[in-house]
Amino acid sequence: MSSTKKIPWVVKYRPKKTDEVVNQEEAKKLFIKWIDSWISKKPEKKGALLYGPPGSGKTSLVEAVAAEKGLELLEMNASDYRRTSDIERIAKASSRARSLVSARGKILLLDEVDGISDVADRGALEAILDLIKNTQHPVVLIANDPWNPKLRGLRDECLMIRFRRLTKTDVKKVLRSICASEKLVCDDDAIDYVAEKSEGDLRSAINDLEAVGEGFGRVTLSATKALLRTRDRDLETFEVVRRILTSKYSWQAREASTQTDLAPDELIKWIHENLPRQAQDPEDLWRAYEAISRADVYFSRIVRSQNWDLLAYAVDMMTAGVALSIKNEQYKFKWTEYSPPPEIRKSAIVAREVRRVREDLAKVIAAHLKCSTSTAKSDVIPLLKVIFDNNLEYAAKLALGLNLSDSMITYLSESRGEQIVKRVEELRQEIRRETRKTVLELSRESRASSGRARTKQSGKKEEKNSRGLENFSRK
């Protein structure tokens, strides 16, 4: 077997130019414009977050643009380098250093950032956030699902670039091109089957095609069915909602609801928020809202009675009931932009405020201890949280000594924050009283001392005058 055959097809047929990235025109336009802004030293955002389903071309686009623009590409899998020290050691050092192979600069690519655990890998996301804020080169993050609450901070700092799930037609076109290049006999119904099973994941479709081709020598439907099995795939939330709202049959809508980690009571909020965007016919919208209303009634009864048998009816109404209510195909299958529910948008605003308080607190600590804000966040603030949760009196004295704001105190201890704030105010009042008392005492001593000095001076003057009169009499 030749050495060419040993190269995996996903590597061999990876796009070399941006034009070869399949059906992501809007994403390509936004990303190239952002890279050009870096080259001209005028980026509005220092980071870009590319998100979308697996196999939609996110990494391929970054590699193709780097090659076309003559930029060095430093690629890391964020889920493999989870510790804060890993991010700081590799990524931060590279973000400041000049490229050794390209005069135009470099791109830092961190893949699978949604694979980082906010509990097990504590500190890694903060390190990435610091990296973006301080980098001298473009930082690209890649995620399948960017709407996880742990990624709120990254979403705020990055340009969001969405990749759509590839259509079956897009996947088939690439597979046929590969079959032609490999001189491999591929039946149309087999190509159709591989594309169908891939669910828009071009990478997995190419891997399946290679497996069948090398295993059987030709790609036939029987060989394909014998080798491949149906995938159970978790989809991004927007894709799940889109599949539900555009389903032709009830079973399709129900099946889509099983391809997400969202709980049913969370999924119904996403459906409710995006329903009027997809169902623009007034009658369709009325019928769909009736179905959602009935599902909400079932959820209420589940909460009151704890009868979880009703959950199946609620899910049926919010998925199949809604999907079959939308009959006007002019709007049903039209692609529209979706958005998260208001609760998620509001929580993002709250999260920004919390991060602002944390940054201000770190600056106060850093100025007091003569350390960096990064050290203050990673080493000092966690210790302060323990103190503030367990020792009210000491916490109040620290807060007073550092002149912390009420929001900073509440950040350090949500459970005892109000008590500490109250105690700080009491300590301030005590200090004021002691200060006034001290000032009064000093004032009294000063007046008394001044009085004694005047009395003494007056006595000396009288004595002098007496001696003068006596001398005058003698004369």
**Ordered DSSP codes for 431-446:** HHHHHHHHHHHHHHHH
Rg (CA), the chain: 35
What is the spatial distance between Cα 156 and Cα 171, in angstroms, rounded to a whole number? Answer: 33
> Nearest 10 degrees: CA dihedral of 216, 227, 197, 62?
-70
pLDDT tens for the 475 residues of the chain, in order: 344 446 788 888 989 899 999 989 999 999 999 999 998 888 889 999 999 888 899 999 999 999 999 898 888 765 555 555 666 666 655 655 565 555 568 898 988 887 776 554 557 788 888 888 888 889 999 988 788 777 888 888 899 999 988 989 999 999 999 999 988 899 999 999 999 888 888 988 998 898 888 877 888 888 888 777 544 455 678 888 988 998 888 888 888 888 777 788 889 999 998 999 888 889 999 999 999 999 999 999 988 888 888 888 999 999 999 999 998 888 887 877 788 887 766 665 566 677 788 888 988 998 888 888 888 888 888 889 889 988 999 999 999 888 898 888 988 988 888 899 898 888 888 888 888 888 888 878 777 776 666 666 666 556 655 565 455 555 5
* Four-way CATH pick for 3-162: 3.40.50.10710, 3.30.70.2190, 3.40.190.290, 3.40.50.300: 3.40.50.300
Exposure string over 85-119, b if 16+ CB within 10 A, otherwise e: ebbbebbbebbeeebeeeeebbbbbbbbbbebeee
Partners of 141 in the beta sheet?
49, 110
Helix (H) or strand (E) holding 109: strand 106-111
- Of 152, 243, 228, which Cα lies nearest the Cα of 190? 228
* Four-way CATH pick for 168-227: 3.20.20.10, 1.10.8.60, 3.30.300.180, 1.10.3720.10: 1.10.8.60
Contact status, residue 207 vs residue 13, Cβ threshold 8 Å: no
Partners of 255 in the beta sheet?
none
Give the residue extent of every domain in the chain: 3-162, 168-227, 237-340
